[in-house]
Structures are given as C-alpha cells and as structure tokens.
Amino acid sequence: MDKHKIFYAQLDLLHPMLSWIRGAFKEAGFDESTVRKLELAMEEALVNIIHHAYHDKPGDIDVKITSVPGQSITVILKDEGPPFNPLEEKKEAIDPSTPLEEIEEGGLGILFMKKYMDNISYQRQGSNNILVLTKNLH
C-alpha cells in the first residue's frame, strides 16, 4: 500500500488527517487497540508540526504512508517549517506516579511516539523537516 496526501496544517483539520491515517493502519492489519495507540502517536506528531513548524500559521503537511504487507507500516511527515528535530528535545524522565495535571506541558508527545512506534527518525532535507515513523506488524 502506498498513500500520499497533502494536508493544510491547521488544528481544526486534525480529525480528517487522523481519520485518513487511521484507515491506513486498519488496512495494514493492526488491531483496534494498536490502531488507537498509533493514532495517538500520530496526533502528537501532527500537533507538533502545526505548533512548531508553522506556529499556528498557514502551511502544509505532506503525509506519505507505505507498508510492507504483513510486516510494517511507515508514515513520513514532511513540513517546510524552520529546522526542528523533536527527537532532540531534552526532557527529564517523568515519574509515572505524578498526576497528569502536575506534569509540565510539552514533551509527552515525543514519549508517546517513542513508546508506540518501533522506529522514529528525523532529517532536514533542503527546506523540509522529515519525520519518519515505522511500526512493525508483529
């Protein structure tokens, strides 16, 4: 499966983006519980792009999804914002017993992405940030 779509980077369009991506996860054969976790990781990645790459201003998110049947799915997110490697964000380890309302905002999205995806990489290519997220089927 190869899918490609360019979305307008706007928070109120987040649901259609996630719906399209969720369909690809289901098509790849992930169970509903895993689809929800992957969707959460993707939501965090997309919100990071909207806020950090475009600072809530107009821009596009180029989304490409490829899968190897029965093996893995890869989502490539490309934006034209200033260089921003979310994987280099330094956050202190969060004590799991800390109530959510006491946790400092920011950084949890990266933790979700690292927890739910099997491989994440970032590169700067020309004027583009490229975030590649891969999940193995088994």
In this structure, the dihedral spanned by the alpha carbons of residues 125, 121, 19 and 15, taken in order and rounded to 10 degrees, is: -70
What is the Cα 65 distance to its own chain's centre?
12
3-state secondary structure of 28: helix
Q: From first to last of its 138 residues, what are the pLDDT tens digits of the chain?
A: 899 999 999 999 999 999 999 999 999 999 999 999 999 999 999 998 998 899 878 899 999 999 998 899 999 999 999 998 888 865 555 555 655 555 555 556 788 899 999 999 999 999 999 999 999 998
Which pLDDT belongs to residue 96? 54
Amino acid at 47: V
DSSP state of 58: S
pTM (2 decimals)? 0.86
Q: Which residue has the tokens 């979700």?
A: 112
Domain at 53, CATH number = 3.30.565.10
Number of domains, the chain:
1
Nearest to 60 by CA among 39, 82, 84, 81: 81
* Residue 21 tokens, joined: 């991506």
Which pLDDT belongs to residue 89? 63
Which pLDDT belongs to residue 57? 82
Residue-range definition of the domain harbouring residue 55: 2-136
